[in-house]
Amino acid sequence: MTLAVPRIARTAWRLMPAPLRVWLRGPTGSQLMRFVPVSIAALAASEITLAILVGLAGVTAGTAAVLASIGGAVVSYLLSRWAWRRKGKPRVLREVLPFWAVSAGTWLVLGLASHYASVWAKHLNLGHLRQTLFVAAAYFLANCCTFVTRFAIFHYLLFVDRGAAAGSPAGAAGSAAGGAGRSAPVSGAAAGPPAAGDAPPGPRLRR
């Protein structure tokens, strides 16, 4: 089994279109690959919580989905800081509050999807176990739909390195200004005629 996994991964990589492989090797694609295990861990935590709440505790599907999403969001936030190489104390206004605002929108989508999945499962007269599996499947599909949106917000807005992004144009502008301020070497042709007091160079003597 341990040998089969790398073979499957290599086969899947070869079957990918060449432009997609090039994109995945780039900075955004590499960051996406770091975000994938984060989402898998958060999804696993929330799916387990959802199954326990719906299957064992008897909580309604919508409420259970929101509670499960909160648990998954905690895992996602902690691992997302690792994925985007964030260290030290998080900034509340630029990082913590926007993350939980995005998470709240995700909870709304997942809660509605789970609620309507539960209503549909009851309409189909499914048993308790099948209802739980049906809601879990709808929750999983809704998570997949929000995956791309969350990655785009995290990568381009939330965890973007604003210091480097702001410093690069300024550094380029400073370099350009410094280059423009340096005086160019003056060639002899552009230096003008010699002054009146200067003696013209004499002819060279031939030996």
Let me know if residue 180 belongs to a domain.
no
Let me know if residue 205 belongs to a domain.
no
What range does the domain containing 47 cover?
Answer: 29-161
Domain count, the chain: 1
Q: Say which residue the tokens 């279109």 belong to.
A: 17
Burial class for 68, CB neighbours closer than 10 Å (0-12, 13-18, 19+): buried
Let me know if residue 21 belongs to a domain.
no
Q: Say which residue the tokens 């990568």 belong to.
A: 155
Predicted pLDDT at 117: 92
Let me know if residue 138 belongs to a domain.
yes
Residue 180 has which token pair? 């423009």
Let me know if residue 4 belongs to a domain.
no
Phi and psi at 79, nearest 5°, equal -80, -25
The stretch 64-75 carries a mean pLDDT of 89
Give the integer Cα–Cα distance in Å for 109 and 103.
Answer: 10
Please tell me the total number of residues recorded for the chain in this structure.
Answer: 207
Is it the case that residue 84 has pLDDT exceeding 80? yes
pLDDT-wise least confident of 3-12, 41-50, 120-129: 3-12
Let me know if residue 204 belongs to a domain.
no
Is it the case that residue 6 has pLDDT exceeding 50? yes
Predicted pLDDT at 204: 54
184 Cβ contact partners less than 8 Å away, ≥ 6 residues apart: none
The stretch 41-56 carries a mean pLDDT of 90
Let me know if residue 35 belongs to a domain.
yes
Let me know if residue 170 belongs to a domain.
no
Predicted pLDDT at 119: 92
Q: How does pLDDT run across 85-99, given as a tens digit for each residue? A: 888 888 888 888 989
Q: How does pLDDT run across 137-190, given as a tens digit for each residue? A: 998 999 888 888 888 888 888 887 655 444 444 444 444 444 444 444 444 444
